[in-house]
Each structure stands twice: as C-alpha cells, then as structure tokens.
Amino acid sequence: MQSRLSLFVKVFMLMVSFLLFGQTIDAGTQDLNLLREDIEKIVKEQLYGAEVSISVRQKNSGRLIYSYKGGQAIKPASNMKLLTSAAALDVLGNNYRFKTQLFTNGKITNGFLKGDLYIRGEGDPTLMKEDLEWFAGKLKAKGVHTVEGDLFGDDTWFDSELLTPGIVWDDEPYYYAAPITALTTSPNTDYDTGTVIVDVSTGSVDTPPTVKVTPYIGEMEIINKAKTVKETDANTLDITRLYKSNQIVISGNLPIGKTGREWITVKNPTIHTLSMFQSVLEEAGIQFINGHTLKVMKTPKKVTLLAEKRSMPLKDIMIPYMKLSNNGIADILVKTMGQVEKHDGSTKAGLKVVESYGKSLKLDMKAWDFEDGSGMSHKDSVTSNALTDMLYKVQKEKSWYQTYYTSLPVAANAERMIGGSLRNRFKEPLTAGKVIAKTGSLNAVNTLSGYVQADSGEWYIFSVLVQNKEDTIPDIDKIVTTMAKEL
C-alpha cells in the first residue's frame, strides 16, 4: 500500500511539474546537465579571460533553470535599453506624441509679420527638414511673406546638458553619441537625431573629393583635406568633427570609384535646427528684414500659436529605436520621462523615473547601476539574472507589452525594420526567426538578452553578458544556439 502511495505521489508531482514548467523535473534535470556542460565548455574554451554572466528562465513561469554567474554585474551596453523602453512605455504610453510648436508675439498685416517667431520643441526625435517645410507652409498659408523680427528656438523642455555622463570625447563626432536638446532634427527615417549625413565621392586623381551634407550644412563648416587617388591605392578616408567645434574634417585618400559616408553630430542641435528653419523659410519666400538674429530663448507667455505638429505615436517610434538601437532616442525618452513625471527634463530626473518603474515591477534594483538610458556608459552594470527577471515580469504589462516585444530584433530576418541588429545573425534553420532579442556592444563588451524558441517548441528567456574581451559575438551566438538545441 505504501509503495503504491509513493508511486502515486511521484506521478502527481511529475504532472504538476509539467503543468507549471512545461517539462518534467527528471527530464529537465537530464537536459540541463547537458546544457550546462556544453555552455560552460564554450565559456572556458572560447571566452577564456572574459567576465561572463548567463541566465535562462522558462518564459511562461519565470522559473530560473540555468545560471552561470548569473549574479555577477556586467556592463549591459544597449541591453540597458530593455529597461529604459519598458519604463518609457509604462510612463508615457503607447500613444505618446512629441510636440513642436510655432508661435509669434507679433501681428500679421497684409503679409507682413511685425514681431518675432518662436519654434518650441519637446524633444521630437522624428522632426526632419520636411516638418520644418510644413511649418513654413502653414506660415505661408497665413499670407506671410515678410518678417520684421528675430527667430528664436525654445529648447527649455530639457535641461542644457547636451551629453550623458558616459560619453567620452572621441565618441562625440559620431551618431551613437549625438548631443540632445528639446529642439533637434534627424537627417533620415532612422531618426539619428542631432546628426547630418556626410557623403564623399571621388573627383579626378590628385584633386579633392566631392562632399555632400544631408539634409543641411547650416552653421557647420567643411574642411576638405582629402585627396582622390588611383583605383589601386589604399583607402584611408576619414570623416570626423573636431572636438567642440562646428568643423567637419575630411582627410586621407579616397581611390577612384570608392565612396565614403559618415553620420556626424552637429555641435548644438537647437542652433542647427534654427539655422535650417531660417533657410527653409527663405526657400518658401518668407524673408526676414532689418538684421534679424537666431537665438535660443524661452517662449514668452503672451504669444499666439501659429502651428503645431505632433510626432508619430511612441509605439511606432519604438521600431526604429529598438531595432536599430538608437542611442539618441533612448536619451530623449529618459529626459522626457523626467519632464513628464518630475517637471525636470534632465537625465538624472529621468533615471529616477526608470528606477521607480523597476521598483514597481518588484525588480531587485540593487542589481542595476546606470547613469544613462542607452547603455553607452561604461559605468552601467546589471546581472543576467536581473535582466531575465525583468523580461519575464514585463510580459504582464498587457497595455503595451506587444509593442515592446515587436520592437525587438528578429534573428535572420533580412527586413531592416524587423531583423534590425540581428538580421545577419542566427541564420541556421534551428534559430532563424526564433531568437527575439536586444543586442548590445561597447569596446570589449557584447551582450544579448531576449527570448528564444527551443527545438522542443518551448520558449525561454535568456541573457548572455560578456565583457573584457573583444569580438565575442560568435561565442554568444554559439551559447544561444546551444540553448535552442538542447532545451
């Protein structure tokens, strides 16, 4: 009788385990031993000398089934955006739209505006030259052809700090370290805010190559020291911006038939936007007279609203932001959360909002340390166990989780706004389309965290964080492929 009861208890426990965890305890233990051996072999042989933290949970239950130094803090790089994005969607909502407004303190009489124009931004990362042309069209539709006054840019929605604390001086010229203001523009629909695109093409041998700046050069200055060389010569072209200056320097040799392209940051996005808007107004036939100036100034209270433009909703911005790992949008979201929640458009205030959201999820915020929302800072750190815990808990956010999940890159999908930063990874049939995850990269740091469907059909949450070793992406991919094969 006792043996029958014992057998009944064992069968009952196996059934409960299957219902709760999607696999039996015995089978799971056997599979996990093999998984552990194979993953740790990769770590010891391929990642020797690196700091590694790995965590795997069941997607449905959140049960931690495997951890290799899962409590060790590692630099997350752009995996930091996983928490920033969740907080932004929760605080701002799917349908949040960034606002840009055009005001005047004057009056329009017979096509003559006697007074100043104020363009006020609230951090729209999707604002482009075409939108400034839309504002010009609205002004033109009111009959305005002459302005006697100044053009002001109001970027006071955010603080005056252009860069987050983790940006180092030699990163500043490039799009991934763009300065942030509340009145900024992007050169394309990737929304690389605060940048211009510099294209270089060859002339004849021994002559300077041709330089084109998109969408507008404005107050920026081109210093072209480059030279066109023979087709067989080495390509040493370099495109950068001198530190704390408006000078874009083109240097080196560009062989016949070759081209060069770089996304270069502007020194101050508000000034650049103002300069471009002035040009757009003039192109639309609206002239300034009597020596007007461009200034940054808060919009006064007694003004008239001429036009207002709102961005696409946040749920749509999430796609280029997360798929392409856009640091500028991450920084803008942090400052926006600070302004909306604390009336303080600073990174510091915004990060307090991010931390509060983490606490509301009952995350262990002691496992997180961050000084930005993008992951650019080398002072950011988190454990892999904390990341998988967060990725499990955000699934319960019914109002926006599908937006969040859809924004993650999809392995081996060639469509840029689907595959994103994973479009050229995990191309094997076992993993193609079955790894949905956020990438991260810094100097000597590579990370990957998200969801994976195993060969068994079950879904798992994983995080693999590696630092202090270069070029570890292939090894991370081997680890995740091993999970897919053996779980």
Q: Determine whether 325 is an active site residue.
A: yes
- For the beta sheet containing 238-241, the strands, ordered from the edge strand earlier in sequence to the opposite edge, are 221-224, 247-251, 238-241
Q: How many CB atoms lie within 10 A of CB 10?
A: 12
Considering 78, 186, 381, 384, which one is annotated as catalytic?
Answer: 78
Considering 85, 325, 381, 407, which one is annotated as catalytic?
Answer: 325
The tokens for 60 are 């449905």
Whole-number Å distance between alpha carbons of 53 and 466: 7
Whole-number Å distance between alpha carbons of 25 and 32: 10
Q: Which residues contact 236 (CB under 8 A, 6 or more apart)?
A: 252, 253
Considering 53, 67, 75, 81, which one is annotated as catalytic?
Answer: 81
Contact 186, 337 (CB under 8 A): no
Q: Determine whether 81 is an active site residue.
A: yes
Nearest by Cα to 295 from 470, 82, 140, 149: 149
Q: Determine whether 78 is an active site residue.
A: yes
Q: What is the DSSP string of 342-360?
A: HS--SHHHHHHHHHHHHHH
- Determine the 3-state secondary structure of 97 from DSSP: coil
Nearest by Cα to 296 from 155, 101, 163: 155
- Catalytic center residues: 78, 81, 325
